[in-house]
Amino acid sequence: MNEPREFRQPVAWRGDRPAPARRARRAVLCSLAALGATLLVPRAAIATAASRIEVWKSPTCGCCTGWVEHLQAAGFAVVVHDVGNAAARKRLGMPAQFGSCHTAAVGGYAIEGHVPAPDIVRLLEERPQALGLAVPGMPVGSPGMEMGDQRDPYDVLLVQRDGSSRVWRSVR
């Protein structure tokens, strides 16, 4: 009749390789999977995923709050200090002629004014020798300064440590 038999897994299921070889194979496969996943993530997400940005602004400024929301939507982890920005601008070394209503620090760089998030991402990717980026004044249409379809042309400036600057990107 039918006697109970011991169940045995097929050899391939038990692993036909010694344990160290299986672990090495698993490590290689996991590394390849991680590499593949990295290639699928946009460069901007990689640059901003761990980017903590500190912002100094007035507690009553609506356009500054709009800029902070713009940064958060782009994936930045934003820490806000509602104490004004003059002391932060001075401490970070940003010349007064580039001044605006808020100042930020990210990745060793100073950010002054309504700088678009993609420009900050590019700055963090390229890592130029510079103090940071600035959008002097408060141009209409810049992040946080949206007013319907109105747009003022403006330049995002790369500010050097000696106080000079050059155009990083023109927004038209």
Kindly give the confidence (pLDDT) of every residue in the chain, 172 residues in length, as a single tens digit, with 9 standing for 90 and above. Answer: 566 556 555 555 445 555 566 565 655 554 544 444 444 445 444 454 458 999 999 999 999 999 999 999 999 999 999 999 999 999 999 999 999 999 999 999 999 999 999 999 999 999 999 999 999 999 999 999 999 999 999 999 999 999 999 999 999 9
pLDDT of amino acid 6:
60
pLDDT of amino acid 9:
52
pLDDT of amino acid 26:
58
- Domain of 145 in residue numbering reads as 50-171
Confirm whether 6 is domain-assigned: no
* SS3 of the chain: helix, strand, coil, percent, to 5: 40, 20, 40
Q: Which residues pair with 52 in a beta bridge?
A: 77
The answer to whether residues 140 and 103 belong to one domain is yes
The answer to whether residues 29 and 81 belong to one domain is no
Confirm whether 123 is domain-assigned: yes
pLDDT of amino acid 41:
44
The residue behind tokens 């420009």 is 119
CA angle 16, 19, 20 (to 5 degrees): 125
pLDDT of amino acid 33:
47
Confirm whether 1 is domain-assigned: no
Number of domains in the chain: 2
The answer to whether residues 90 and 15 belong to one domain is no
- How many Cβ atoms from other residues are within 10 Å of residue 9's Cβ? 8
The answer to whether residues 26 and 65 belong to one domain is no
